[in-house]
Structure 1
Amino acid sequence: MQQRKLGRHGLTVGAIGYGATGTAIGYGPSDDQESITAIRRAHELGVTHFDTARMYGWGEGEKLLGIALRPIRDQVTIATKFGLTESYSPDSRPETIRDVVDSRLKNLNIDTIDLLYQHIPDPNVPIEDVVGVMQEFVHAGKVKCLGPLQLG
């Protein structure tokens, strides 16, 4: 699998990533064991980058991805997003980001998120506030890299 370097900080990801939406929502009924099998098969075929988000089952998709990747965690990168409420409204308030990131770490059963980014822009929160709270997680060692922000 070809690799791509993201940004200037050295995070390298597979050129093809696995979007985990369908493991918990979006495409009809899902089966946890089949999803785990599919995720692990993707890795066997060379996929090393896995993307999830809070809205992918409101935590259930992340738990499933965490289970599937646990045996190979040191061989993959995990990206996750924040910024949407359960009613699909934007919410990038600092306290919400803090809650979301801590919940993602717990749900995925990991110590560090490889790539964190904003799902959609939030016109009610200055981008400086969003970046500031994201940077807190980098300094704390909970997030390795920050992804592109949606500026609208």
Structure 2
Amino acid sequence: MESVPLGRSTLHVSRVGLGCNNFGRRVDRRGTLRVVQAALDAGITFFDTAESYGSGDSERFLGDALGHRRPDVVVATKFGWASDDLPGGSPERVRRTIEGTLARLGTDVVDLYYYHRPDGVTPIAETLGAMQQLVAEGKVRALGLSNVDTALLRDAAATGIEIAAVQNRYSLVHRADDEGVLPLCRELGIGYVPYFPLESGLLTGKYRRGEPSPTGTRLAGGIEETQFDDVERLEAFAAARGRTLLELAVGGLASIDGIASVIAGATTPEQVSANAAADSWRLTPDELAALPR
């Protein structure tokens, strides 16, 4: 598994990462251990979780599963999705949340700490200032922002506080950031980390037009016909080059300038192995330009 720098930070991450949003929800503690072990076996060194996933169980289960391998990997987590008495991005929230996160992960330091979702109230300079203080205290190594637009990202950059990564929704059927956030990340030297790169399994090839969705899958409730149109165009593109849809979904993103790591979620060891193996195709500039849109 290729290891790449994350923005201008000192962190290096595997080209394919593991999204841990299923831990504590669709995957129990024992299942988490199996999935994490499969990821480590596949060479994945980048694990992405959040305080809100599984009401904290994702962090707990991930910390337990990593065990003595914790120093070998980069752990990213997030704060600020939920708020009660305090806005999600308030400095008080930042300081309060990190202690719980460190305890749940069973670690002394978070490698990459994301502001999960801007609260629309707290100035970004105040949030980042509190986050930077955690770096100064040795509780966090690098900072990230998630679910941001270009205006907020420019405001964040204007603070002079180093941002290692931006995590926004992005896939081969959801490319809204092509004209804004992604090129701005390239300009600023910030690593771009797409979430939902497989569109909840839509881009794995397991869903077929006219066939029932597999039982227990996230899209079992139904898929729109226009979504199948997108999938079939991409699948035909991949097949014409002797590749699978999954290889295109992962390798295509990994081939785009500025994208650091493709963090795909998984509920089984087999899914982890398949996602890691899909990172075998690097598209040429001509192939990228020809991708169906």
Using the size of structure 1 for normalisation, the TM-score is 0.90
Answer yes or no: is 1:66 the counterpart of 2:63. yes
* 1:134 to partner: Cα distance: 0.2
Give the Cα separation in 1 of the matches to 2:102 and 2:32.
20
| Match of residue 81, structure 2, among 52, 63, 84 | 84
Letter in 2 for 1:144: R
For the Cα contact (< 8 Å) 1:55–1:86, is it kept in 2?
Answer: no
Structure having the larger proportion of residues in strand: 1
Q: Percent identity, aligned pairs only?
A: 38
Structure 1 equivalent of residue 217 of structure 2: none
For the Cα contact (< 8 Å) 2:20–2:48, is it kept in 1?
Answer: yes
Q: Secondary structure at the match of 1:115?
A: strand
- Aligned alpha-carbon RMSD (Å): 1.8
Q: Secondary structure at the match of 1:68?
A: helix
Using the size of structure 2 for normalisation, the TM-score is 0.48
For the Cα contact (< 8 Å) 1:49–1:78, is it kept in 2?
Answer: yes
Answer yes or no: is 1:57 the counterpart of 2:54. yes
Answer yes or no: is 1:15 the counterpart of 2:12. no
* 1:86 to partner: Cα distance: 6.5
For the Cα contact (< 8 Å) 2:75–2:111, is it kept in 1?
Answer: yes
Which 4+ stretches in 1 moved above 4 angstroms? none
Deviations 1:91-141 (A, max 9, x none): 111111111111110100000100011111121000000110000100000
Any residues of structure 2 matched to 1:52-131 within 5 Å, and which?
A: 52-85=49-82, 91-131=88-128
Deviations 1:59-86 (A, max 9, x none): 1111100000112011101000111117
Structure 1 equivalent of residue 142 of structure 2: 145
Task: List runs of 5+ in structure 2 lacking aligned partners.
Answer: 154-293
Task: List runs of 5+ in structure 1 lacking aligned partners.
Answer: none
Structure having the larger proportion of residues in helix: 2
